[in-house]
Amino acid sequence: MLRDLGMIALGGLAASGIGWILRERHRDRKVPILSGWPRVVIVGAGFGGLRVARGLAGADADVLVVDRHNYHCFQPLLYQVATAGLEPEEVAQPVRRILRGIPNVRFRMTTVSKVDLAHRQLLTSDGPIPYDYLVLAAGSTSHYFGMPHIAEKAFGLKDLNQAVALRNRLLECFEMAVSEKDAARRAALLTFVVAGGGPTGVELAGAIVELIRLVLVHDYAGLDVKDAHVVLVEAGPTVLPTLAVSLQKASIRALRQKGVDVRVNCPVKDFDGENAYLGDGTIIPTRTLIWAAGVRATSVDSEPALPLDRSGRIKVGPTLQVEGYPEIYAIGDLAHFEENGKPLPMVAPVAIQQGEMVAENLRRQIAGLPLQKFVYHDKGTMATIGRNAAVCQIGPLRLTGFPAWVMWLVVHLVQLISFRNRLLVLINWTWDYLFFDRAVRLITRD
């Protein structure tokens, strides 16, 4: 009986594998038809840009996606790359792979330096790219509030390179601490300061402390792990300020239980590579400051200048068109779209929903139909603090602890791009959960 079931399962797997191979071969045979249609150029293959591109599949438009990287990155899991939980390729996918099989959409890897509005063209590292319609979806970048030492010496977490650099750094500090005879210098090597109590800072601080206390403690048996110190520093009065007060308190409690030293009302003022200087006069000896305290819109230079808000986001109207430029749309972190007198937050669901709306509006604009107004549907907010601990707010529902953590896992797994990545991440998470391990403890630079 069991053997029969096994044969049936194997047969099913083989059939679906053959089906998949045939579909892939068929996709590759499609020939793009790219003439006579209006040219839509999308800057950025992030959450927003990709939604526009996919939403224009089969439209009467010649679509070109440009990005300075050849991959799409799932930023919400970058902190797991930085803390040796996931491989870079598990949270990213080549854009060409994602767009393969959509005949009217192409990709070019290049960096956009300027938008020449008068001539309707982008100036790029590869030369000019003309457009009839333009979608700006270039995301955001770290904001250091005019603190040059922090900008120069702190670690960021905005892309894959930064995540790998941080992973190298965390592990290197432990290697250096092993041979450091001086106790104070050893303690500084094993002190990690995370600036910013938003979701990125909270998730990162929780993950670093678990990496140390659950995994590295066994690798570095000669080191006293009590020397290791993870400090989360937040300028405001609490962490996760956009969540309900009960969830903020639950997060601080969970972080402290896991061993994170949480300090609120305490901005980081400076960092010289040896010490972090806090607003209350405290000096923390540390070699590693991680900056998760501020983001601002990616600067998109244009001639003449596009209308910007004070944080550099491009002002868009109800249809997501840039004020004064009906042929240009801006979405996601880069766009200032006001709802109830406030700009929407810089989160993935905003970029995704705006991307879907822009694809629809472009189809309408090309067909000469009236455009639709964008309305944001907030589906909730969540953050994980580590193993079995998370907070989750969906409408009136508030979850903490294990149920919130399971919900966080499911939501992030489902949102990952490609079945392959989902499978690999699921395997890694299961392994790490069962064996208290982090498989990617590699220092990968000379």
Ligand X SMILES: Cc1cc2nc3c(=O)[nH]c(=O)nc-3n(C[C@H](O)[C@H](O)[C@H](O)COP(=O)(O)OP(=O)(O)OC[C@H]3O[C@@H](n4cnc5c(N)ncnc54)[C@H](O)[C@@H]3O)c2cc1C
Residues with a known catalytic role: 203
Which of 134, 247, 351, 390 contacts ligand X by CB under 6 A?
A: 351
Distance CA 60, CA 104 (A): 8
Which of 65, 66, 289, 425 contacts ligand X by CB under 6 A?
A: 66
Is residue 300 within 8 A of residue 115, CB to CB? The reply is yes
Residues 6+ apart with CB under 8 A from 343: 309, 313, 336, 337
Which of 104, 286, 298, 321 contacts ligand X by CB under 6 A?
A: 298
Query: Which is nearer to ligand X, 68 or 153 (by Cβ)?
Result: 68
Of the candidate spans 44-52, 365-373, 388-396, 423-431, the one that interacts with ligand X by CB under 6 A turns out to be 44-52
Which of 78, 166, 173, 247 contacts ligand X by CB under 6 A?
A: 78
Query: Which is nearer to ligand X, 111 or 242 (by Cβ)?
Result: 111
Of the candidate spans 45-53, 222-230, 252-260, 435-443, the one that interacts with ligand X by CB under 6 A turns out to be 45-53
Residues 6+ apart with CB under 8 A from 301: 113, 114, 115
Residues 92-111 touching ligand X, rule: CB under 6 A, are 111
Smallest gap from Cβ 181 to ligand X, in A, equals: 36
Among 312, 261, 334, smallest CA distance to 145 is for 312
CB burial class (10 A; 0-12, 13-18, 19+) of residue 356?
middle
Which of 347, 411, 413, 439 contacts ligand X by CB under 6 A?
A: 347
Query: Which is nearer to ligand X, 142 or 190 (by Cβ)?
Result: 142
Which of 55, 196, 199, 259 contacts ligand X by CB under 6 A?
A: 199
Smallest gap from Cβ 11 to ligand X, in A, equals: 40
Query: Which is nearer to ligand X, 66 or 254 (by Cβ)?
Result: 66
Among 367, 297, 357, smallest CA distance to 333 is for 297
Is residue 352 within 8 A of residue 48, CB to CB? The reply is yes
Which of 40, 41, 48, 64 contacts ligand X by CB under 6 A?
A: 48
Distance CA 63, CA 359 (A): 11
| 3 state DSSP class of 74 | coil
- Burial state string for 92-131 with b = 16 or more CB within 10 A and e = fewer than 16: bbbbeebbeebebbbbebbebeebebeebbbbbeeeebeb
Which of 80, 104, 191, 200 contacts ligand X by CB under 6 A?
A: 200
Smallest gap from Cβ 61 to ligand X, in A, equals: 19
Query: Which is nearer to ligand X, 76 or 294 (by Cβ)?
Result: 76
Of the candidate spans 62-70, 180-188, 302-310, 391-399, the one that interacts with ligand X by CB under 6 A turns out to be 62-70
Which of 55, 76, 196, 201 contacts ligand X by CB under 6 A?
A: 76
Q: At what angle do helices 199-210 and 245-258 cross, to 10 degrees?
A: 20
Compute CA 173 distance to the chain's CA centroid, rounded to the nearest angstrom.
Answer: 25
Q: How far apart are the first and last CA of the chain?
A: 55
- Contacts with ligand X: how many residues (CB under 6 A)? 33
Is residue 43 involved in binding ligand X (CB under 6 A)? yes
Is residue 47 involved in binding ligand X (CB under 6 A)? yes
Q: Which is it for strands 92-94 and 39-43: parallel, antiparallel or unpaired?
A: unpaired
Among 208, 264, 274, 258, smallest CA distance to 241 is for 264
Is residue 348 involved in binding ligand X (CB under 6 A)? yes
Is residue 44 involved in binding ligand X (CB under 6 A)? yes
Query: Which is nearer to ligand X, 190 or 337 (by Cβ)?
Result: 337
Q: In what order do the strands lie in the sheet with 121-124?
A: 127-130, 121-124, 112-116, 302-303
Residue 52: CA count within 13 A, CB half-sphere: 34
Chain position whose Cβ is nearest to ligand X: 46
Is residue 213 involved in binding ligand X (CB under 6 A)? no
Distance CA 111, CA 310 (A): 24
Query: Which is nearer to ligand X, 14 or 397 (by Cβ)?
Result: 397
Among 278, 280, 291, 294, smallest CA distance to 153 is for 291
Of the candidate spans 39-47, 126-134, 165-173, 322-330, the one that interacts with ligand X by CB under 6 A turns out to be 39-47
CB burial class (10 A; 0-12, 13-18, 19+) of residue 30?
exposed
Query: Which is nearer to ligand X, 189 or 407 (by Cβ)?
Result: 407
Residues 108-167 touching ligand X, rule: CB under 6 A, are 111-112, 137-139, 157-158
Of the candidate spans 22-30, 74-82, 83-91, 145-153, the one that interacts with ligand X by CB under 6 A turns out to be 74-82
Among 355, 354, 357, 302, smallest CA distance to 324 is for 302
Query: Which is nearer to ligand X, 166 or 284 (by Cβ)?
Result: 166
Interface residues toward ligand X, by CB under 6 A: 43-49, 66-69, 75-76, 78-79, 111-112, 137-139, 157-158, 199-200, 298, 332-334, 346-349, 351
